[in-house]
Structure 1
Amino acid sequence: MTQLTAPTAKSTSRPALAKAAKPRSLKNAALALVAWLGGLVLFLPVAWMVLTSFHSEPDAASNPPAITAPLTLDGYREFFDSEPWPPLINSMTASLASTLLVLLLALPAAYALAIRPVKAWRDALFFFLSTKMLPIVAGLLPIYLFARNVGMLDNVWLLVLLYTSMNLPIAVWMLQSFLAEVPVSVIEAAQLDGARLPVVLGRVIAPIVLPGIAATALICFIFSWNELLFARVLTGVVAETAPVFLTRFITSQGLFLAQLSAAAVAISLPVLAAGFAAQDKLVQGLSLGAVK
């Protein structure tokens, strides 16, 4: 009797499982469709900027927009004829130098908060986060007066210091969550072998959390590259950055939309190249501290 009922129960369970899996697959398909639609909506302004960069100024300023207008490279010619290389070099210098300083300062701080926790480490993390609650414009006047008094106006190294202080709280928060996933036994084994703190950080912890470090570095680099307010007020000609350079195309004569779009596309390429180069590390890093 048991030999007859066992196949019957097994045969009835398969349609039940298939029936239960069908709504789940429909739900996953619906979520995927919503995600694709959201991605397309977010990508639409970027696509429109790229298309506008290949239009002439009359076609770019037409209302309604001339989507099928003839394509031209005049906007990119105007961009490269306006000598964009000094601002691009300044942005690259400030972004790379500040990102390197942020990592050098944030990694030991995150180690102290995650692996060798100090007293009231949650309060320390909140203090780091509270420094981001002050609007940048509220501290702009004191910073300007300080830079003027010490003779650092229109100096790219002033931007390096400001970008370092601006991105350091975010880096400490991110790296703290990544370092919390490092097994303490690995660190203790290295210390038993005689490794000191610099060796532990550089040769033991850094390779383990390399995706998290790459994600933190990329985010700090993007924030530094896109910063406009400090660079617009504290720089002039010598230390002008790429975002400040974009404001040249907004003049009293009007908005040169095609040239501005071409310049924005060209200036965005270094960030896009860095993102594509570290794409796998970025995904691993952003998901490294998500589940504990």
Structure 2
Amino acid sequence: MSTAAVRNATVRTATVRNRNRNRRGAGLGLLAWLVGLLFFLPIAWMALTSFHSEADAATNPPSFGAALTLDSYREFFGVGGGASPWPALINSTMASVASTLCVLLLALPAAYALSIRRVKKWTDVLFFFLSTKMLPVVAGLLPIYLFAKNTGMLDNIWLLVILYTSMNLPIAVWMMQSFLAEVPVAVIEAAQIDGARLPTILARVVAPIALPGIAATALICFIFSWNELLFARVLTGVVAETAPVFLTGFITSQGLFLAKVCAASLVISLPVLAAGFAAQDKLVQGLSLGAVK
């Protein structure tokens, strides 16, 4: 076979492979869009239902062409004499932000000791952190309630801050340990040679390098704290009521609450969606740290 024939055969083979690769890529892209739409449909349906009246929202099958109204949102925001959601939203913001900051302040040095300056039996320490998540939350609810009652901390937002910090700290240490493992040790040793102490190293050397991972950890802890319901439902009343607890107040035994619950769910979800959208680049970078390159 001549050289030209061999070259033509090689070109044809490469062309076929590229065509097949493009087809597989297009198929995977279409599948990804379908999966994305599958996850988005319930959110879209919730948003549409929130603009319907209660009578239209309760029809079976659903009424797609029903008239749109803002009555559910007016009731959620207390227009016309209803309860205002702002105290609950402020409580959720305080508990989520404060607990997330506490988690980061505690998890960063812990992850540093488990990844860069590893303590003895650091794998056992990581397993201990993981084992704390194996206990069902409801199993510890009664002792926590009795403790809060005897110490006068029932219906106190700072009790939720402590509980959310302890709840999110194990997962934060696990995540940040893998993120900090990517920090070059030579950079830390150079800072130590220059006389930097541990707090300075953590704040000015480790934190800027691992910022995407820290942002991803903070976002996940914030979401977990914002969405938490069980502790807030049992341990709070009026003063420290959070947004998820306020949402459950729209569920009544008389029925016809679907539109109001959808409106409340959409509004309460907006802070989490906004935080995720604002930090999406850091979230992607952080979750990809430690992956196989």
Q: Do Structure 1 and Structure 2 share a fold, with TM-score over 0.5?
A: yes
1:126–1:255 distance in 2 versus 1, CA, 3 Å: farther
Given the alignment, which residue of 23, 26, 37 partners 2:34? 37
User: Any residues of structure 2 matched to 1:21-36 within 5 Å, and which?
Assistant: 21-36=18-33
Aligned to 1:73: 70
Structure 1: gaps spanning 5 or more residues: none
Aligned to 2:221: 220
Aligned to 1:128: 129
User: Any residues of structure 2 matched to 1:106-145 within 5 Å, and which?
Assistant: 106-145=107-146
Distance in 1 between residues matched to 2:286 and 2:86, nearest whole Å: 32
Contact in 2 for aligned 1:97/1:160 (Cα 8 Å): yes
Contact in 1 for aligned 2:55/2:256 (Cα 8 Å): no
User: Any residues of structure 2 matched to 1:221-260 within 5 Å, and which?
Assistant: 221-260=222-261
Aligned to 2:43: 46
Amino acid at match of 2:38: V
Contact in 1 for aligned 2:212/2:283 (Cα 8 Å): yes
Superposition deviation, residue 252 in structure 1: 2.3
Superposition deviation, residue 86 in structure 1: 0.3
1:16 aligns with 2:17: no
- Name which of structure 1's ranges 89-98 and 32-41 shifts more when overlaid on structure 2: 32-41
Aligned to 2:96: 95
Aligned to 1:210: 211
Distance in 2 between residues matched to 1:257 and 1:279, nearest whole Å: 31
Superposition deviation, residue 27 in structure 1: 1.9
User: What secondary structure is seen at the aligned counterpart in 1 of 2:249?
Assistant: helix
Alpha-carbon displacement from aligned partner over 1:234-279 (angstroms, at most 9, x marks no partner):
0000000000001111112224111111111111111111111111
Contact in 2 for aligned 1:102/1:167 (Cα 8 Å): yes
Amino acid at match of 1:23: N
User: What secondary structure is seen at the aligned counterpart in 2 of 1:198?
Assistant: helix
1:270 aligns with 2:266: no
Distance in 1 between residues matched to 2:255 and 2:152, nearest whole Å: 35
> What percentage of residue pairs aligned between the two structures are identical?
75
Distance in 2 between residues matched to 1:74 and 1:237, nearest whole Å: 25
Per the normalisation by structure 1, the TM-score is 0.96
Aligned to 1:190: 191
Distance in 2 between residues matched to 1:10 and 1:194, nearest whole Å: 63
- Name which of structure 1's ranges 219-228 and 17-26 shifts more when overlaid on structure 2: 17-26
- Name which of structure 1's ranges 275-284 and 158-167 shifts more when overlaid on structure 2: 275-284
Alpha-carbon displacement from aligned partner over 1:14-70 (angstroms, at most 9, x marks no partner):
111121222222222222222111111111111111000000010011111011101
Structure 2: gaps spanning 5 or more residues: none
Contact in 2 for aligned 1:154/1:238 (Cα 8 Å): yes
User: What secondary structure is seen at the aligned counterpart in 1 of 2:175?
Assistant: helix
